[in-house]
Copies of this chain bind each other. A is one copy, B any other.
Amino acid sequence: MDTNQPRWQRRKDARPAEIIEAALTLFVDKGFAATRLDDVATQAGVTKGTVYLYFANKEELFKAVVRETILPNIESGEHLLADHQGTWAELLWILLERWADRMEYSASTGISKLMIAEASNFPDLARFYVEEVVMRSRKLFATVIQRGIDAGEFRPVDPVMATRAVISPLMLIKVWKQSFSLCDTEPVDLKAFARFHYELMMQGLASR
């Protein structure tokens, strides 16, 4: 108020991304229904009217959040598979490590929790998510495992089930952390756990 700078600025290009980021945080934290658009607007540094300038309604904003946040992350893993030279066990570890890494700093992995919570209320978005994100991730891991089996590196297990077994622990631990960070006092080092789980997967629990 003391300086005479403008009360707000026109930033047409930057607004949508800022609103989506604010919405991502709040949706992941409180859920879709419990998040107020007024709060999204405030956190994005605008007012509710501005949100409606860029998104038709709350549901469209939700869809935009999921789409914009997820899509950039999908493809890099597939490139890793295409370009890989070493053993399949190595690639498996690279994929898990990269994933654990991303979980530490990127808010985008919170989408998993969000989709789990809201899938039944947004069937079409759930279908999009399952097809474009989940299926592609599964296929990536399943291919690595299948090639490992073909190369004689892995025992001949069912690659579909093995994929689930490989992915689940990291996935759940992230979802869990997202939900119970306030009360679950057992701290988890994501990367250390990823390594532990990888080695358990490879060697098994039984003594020899």
- Known contacts A123-B182, A197-B161: A118-B31 contact under CB 8 Å: yes
Say yes or no: is A207 at the interface (Cβ < 8 Å to chain B): yes
Which A residues between 151 and 206 are near B, CB-CB below 8 angstroms? 152-155, 157-158, 160-162, 164-165, 168-169, 171-173, 175-176, 179-180, 182-184, 186, 188, 192-193, 196-197, 200-206
Report how far A115 CA is from B172 CA in the complex, Å.
Answer: 13
Say yes or no: is A127 at the interface (Cβ < 8 Å to chain B): yes
- Of the candidates B32, B154, B180, B197, the one whose C-beta lies within 8 Å of that of A206 is B154
- Of the candidates B172, B180, B204, the one whose C-beta lies within 8 Å of that of A130 is B180
Known pairs A89-B206, A165-B197; list 10 more (Cβ under 8 Å). A31-B117, A113-B117, A148-B205, A154-B207, A157-B196, A164-B173, A171-B172, A203-B206, A204-B204, A204-B205
Which residues of B lie under 8 Å from residue A1 when comparing CB positions? none
Say yes or no: is A37 at the interface (Cβ < 8 Å to chain B): no
Q: How many copies of the shown chain assemble into the complex?
A: 2
- Known contacts A201-B205, A203-B204, A206-B155: A116-B118 contact under CB 8 Å: no
27 A-B pairs in the complex with CB atoms less than 8 angstroms apart: A31-B31, A31-B121, A33-B33, A33-B34, A89-B206, A116-B179, A119-B180, A120-B179, A130-B183, A130-B184, A145-B205, A152-B207, A153-B207, A160-B186, A162-B196, A165-B196, A165-B200, A168-B171, A169-B169, A172-B172, A200-B201, A201-B204, A202-B204, A203-B204, A203-B206, A204-B204, A204-B206
The answer to whether B126 touches A182, judged by C-beta atoms less than 8 angstroms apart, is yes
The answer to whether A120 touches B155, judged by C-beta atoms less than 8 angstroms apart, is no
Which residues of B lie under 8 Å from residue A97 when comparing CB positions? none
- Of the candidates B157, B158, B179, B207, the one whose C-beta lies within 8 Å of that of A155 is B207
